[in-house]
Every structure is written in C-alpha cells, then in structure tokens.
Structure 1
Amino acid sequence: MEQFLTVEQVAKILQVHWQTVLTYIKKGKLGAFKLGRGYRIEPKDLEEFVQKLKTK
C-alpha cells in the first residue's frame, strides 16, 4: 500500500510553512485529496509539483 504525506510533512520537505502548502492545494497547483479534516498528498503528486517548479 502506498504511503501518503500530510500537509505538515510536505511543508517540511519543501521548507515552507504548512499554510503555504494548503494554498498550493487550494489553487490546484499541488494534487491532494481530503481525508477527514486534513489533506493527503501522494508522493508522485509532490514529485510532479517539484518538477514544475524546477522548469519555471
């Protein structure tokens, strides 16, 4: 089974505030799905997001 990342984990990886990660999700820049009261991010979605940042 694939492991999913929390907003806090992604924030730590990207070295940004967790609210910044939520902004990326809400603007549709970072793929995520709602689980309970929080969001979960698939590692492949995070990888795609980082690649897009690198190409800009």
Structure 2
Amino acid sequence: MPAEENERAGPAQVKFLTVAEVALIMRVSKMTVYRLVHSKALAAVRVGKSFRVPERAVQEYLNNAYFDAG
C-alpha cells in the first residue's frame, strides 16, 4: 500500500503500542515515555486512564531524534 493511502487509513489500520512497549522499543524507562507524551514530543491517545502511542509516532520521533555528533 503506498504511503499516501496508508495515511488515509482509518483507526483500525493504526497499530497502537502501550507505554511499556514504547519504553522497550526506545530502551528508556516508562517515565521517560510519559514525559515525552505530556510534553507533546510524542503523539498519544488516552484510553481510559492509560495512553496508547501510534507505532508510526514512535518511528517518526526516533527518525527526528538523530543528530550528527561528529
């Protein structure tokens, strides 16, 4: 599926991750993920008392986090 069509996909097409899953992927603590969500650096939706993060938001955050240290 081309990227443009995937962006128009409905919510059923989006894969959501828990805060714990995001922390494992990013190799950070859950508190760090909560801080990113609350500062709006990482997109998330609230489901009841917990948050769910779209997998694509994690990929975009990590892609934008790279910097040249040399």
**Fold match, TM over 0.5?**
yes
Runs of 4+ more than 6 Å apart: none
| Higher RCO, 1 vs 2 (CA within 8 Å, ≥6 residues apart) | 1
| Equivalent-residue separation in structure 2 for 1:37 and 1:52 (angstroms) | 28
Mapping of residues 27-46 of structure 1, within 5 Å: 27-46=39-58
SS in 1 for 2:66: helix
Q: TM-score, with normalisation over the residues of structure 2? A: 0.73
Q: Number of aligned residue pairs: give it.
A: 56
Larger Cα Rg: Structure 1 or Structure 2? Answer: 2
Q: Which runs of 5+ in 1 are unaligned?
A: none
Give the aligned CA root-mean-square deviation in angstroms. Answer: 1.3
Identity of aligned residues (%): 27
Mapping of residues 1-56 of structure 1, within 5 Å: 1=12, 2-55=14-67
Q: TM-score, with normalisation over the residues of structure 1? A: 0.90
